[in-house]
């Protein structure tokens, strides 16, 4: 950003934007093979449905959509956030798109970034509009309850900044439909009432707040995962980073750095192509931009501009076990070239039914106060395809945001 540009007050700190992205909140994909992908993400990976949005809940499916398969939208979590993943039917979304958001080559329906307050979302929406960004909508959606502003990047990947997503508690119930009354499709007046007050008002109306959706499954918990019995030998504890294939690196960097405030951690030249690793917190990267020219060279699907979606498991033992478990269950498993995994140490790719690459890892390099990554010569030496039984500790082993709550 130009140093002469007026700074923005973000909670008493002067910054280049009127918001500060803290982390990746959730991510969305559109699918062609919904049933197979539900099996992949629910049964094999362990995500849990929190809500289902059915566009035809109270009416017959129109003839034009009857051969599309399952047209419902699914919201899924791995922790207490209402959703970490949002899944939709690609053909239905494409057919009903009225805002020009859906294209054949983009299967991402959202990249969603958490900021620190409701004011940051609304101030950010105004600021982004003033700078002629491709804005979509602002307000508050249900289910999930988060306040948001949606806008498009240069390659028509829909981004969102948000605040205040619904939290799922110990009993696993989401908010009942009768509490979806405070949905907004416009800029709300500030201040708004708190979440606590919304619940008090619902109780006063006689709402059964325990009547929301609760996911159940009948998978046997046969794996002893460091002392807890689970249906699979690993536990996802964090989502991200996201990898994107982009058509114009300069335009994408202008958007993600200049508009959204991401910082460049590291750059890699791979086969003559510039790949850029970006962060918004202390992790080495939360977003990677790859030139789309590398997609074929990396053997990734031309169906999508998703270069990878990160799924962190709790430790190295679980990472090895996840790799074996997924391969045993018929999932295609490969490895990304080591040159393209700085900051991730050991990792592998597992592909869903539509060919989206999930990047499994167990440790992300953390940056300190000086904002410098670990020098390449001081990183762990890895031999492709070789997975030792144990690893020596490093200075940032088990550092970063911890997972809160039980594994199962």
Q: Rounded distance, CA 159 to CA 148, Å?
A: 10
Q: What is the arithmetic mean of pLDDT over 19-37? A: 97
Is the per-residue pLDDT at 2 higher than 70? no
**Above pLDDT 70, what percent of the chain?**
99
| Residue (of 312, 319, 311) closest to 233 by Cα position | 319
Q: Rounded distance, CA 169 to CA 173, Å?
A: 7
Is the per-residue pLDDT at 3 higher than 80? no
Cβ neighbours, 10 Å, residue 248: 13
Is the per-residue pLDDT at 185 higher than 70? yes
Residues found in the chain = 408
Is the per-residue pLDDT at 17 higher than 80? yes
Q: Rounded distance, CA 117 to CA 178, Å?
A: 25
* pLDDT category of residue 1 using cuts at 50, 70 and 90: very low
Chain centroid offset of residue 145 CA: 17
pLDDT in tens, 110-160: 999 999 999 999 999 999 999 999 999 999 999 999 999 999 999 999 999
pTM: 0.96
pLDDT in tens, 154-164: 999 999 999 99
pLDDT in tens, 301-339: 999 999 999 999 999 999 999 999 999 999 999 999 999
* pLDDT category of residue 271 using cuts at 50, 70 and 90: very high
* pLDDT category of residue 105 using cuts at 50, 70 and 90: confident
Burial of 153 (0-12, 13-18, 19+ CB in 10 A): buried
pLDDT confidence of residue 329: 98
Q: Are 85 and 25 in contact (CB under 8 A)?
A: no
């Amino acid at each position: 950003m130009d140093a002469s540009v007026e700074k923005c007050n973000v909670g008493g700190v002067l910054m280049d934007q009127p918001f500060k992205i803290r982390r990746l909140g959730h991510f969305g994909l559109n699918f062609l093979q919904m049933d197979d992908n539900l099996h992949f993400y629910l049964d094999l990976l362990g995500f849990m449905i929190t809500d289902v949005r059915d566009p035809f809940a109270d009416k017959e499916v129109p003839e034009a959509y009857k051969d599309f398969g399952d047209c419902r939208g699914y919201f899924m979590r791995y922790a207490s956030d209402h959703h970490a993943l949002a899944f939709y039917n690609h053909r239905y979304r494409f057919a009903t798109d009225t805002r020009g958001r859906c294209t054949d080559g983009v299967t991402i329906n959202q990249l969603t970034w958490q900021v620190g307050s409701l004011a940051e979302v609304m101030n950010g929406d105004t600021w982004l509009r003033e700078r002629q960004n491709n804005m979509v909508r602002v307000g508050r959606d249900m289910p999930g309850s988060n306040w948001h502003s949606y806008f498009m990047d240069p390659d028509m990947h829909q981004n969102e900044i948000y605040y205040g997503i619904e939290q799922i508690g110990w009993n696993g119930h989401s908010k009942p439909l009768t509490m979806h009354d405070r949905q907004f499709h416009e800029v709300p007046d500030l201040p708004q009432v708190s979440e606590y007050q919304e619940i008090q008002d619902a109780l006063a109306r006689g709402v059964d707040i325990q009547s929301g959706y609760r996911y159940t499954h009948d998978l046997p918990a046969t794996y002893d995962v460091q002392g807890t019995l689970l249906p699979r030998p690993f536990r996802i504890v964090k989502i991200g980073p996201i990898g994107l294939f982009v058509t114009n690196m300069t335009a994408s960097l202008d958007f993600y750095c200049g508009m959204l405030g991401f910082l460049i951690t590291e750059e890699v030249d791979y086969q003559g192509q510039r790949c850029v690793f970006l962060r918004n917190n202390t992790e080495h990267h939360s977003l990677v931009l790859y030139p789309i020219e590398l997609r074929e060279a990396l053997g990734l699907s031309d169906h999508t501009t998703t270069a990878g979606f990160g799924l962190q498991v709790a430790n190295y033992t679980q990472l090895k076990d996840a790799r074996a478990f997924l391969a045993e269950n018929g999932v295609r498993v490969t490895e990304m070239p080591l040159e393209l995994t700085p900051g991730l140490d050991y990792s592998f790719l597992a592909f869903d039914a539509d060919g989206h690459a999930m990047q499994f890892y167990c440790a992300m390099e953390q940056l300190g106060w000086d904002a410098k990554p670990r020098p390449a010569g001081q990183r762990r030496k890895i031999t492709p395809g070789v997975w030792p039984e144990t690893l020596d500790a490093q200075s940032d082993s088990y550092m970063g945001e911890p997972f809160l709550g039980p594994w199962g």
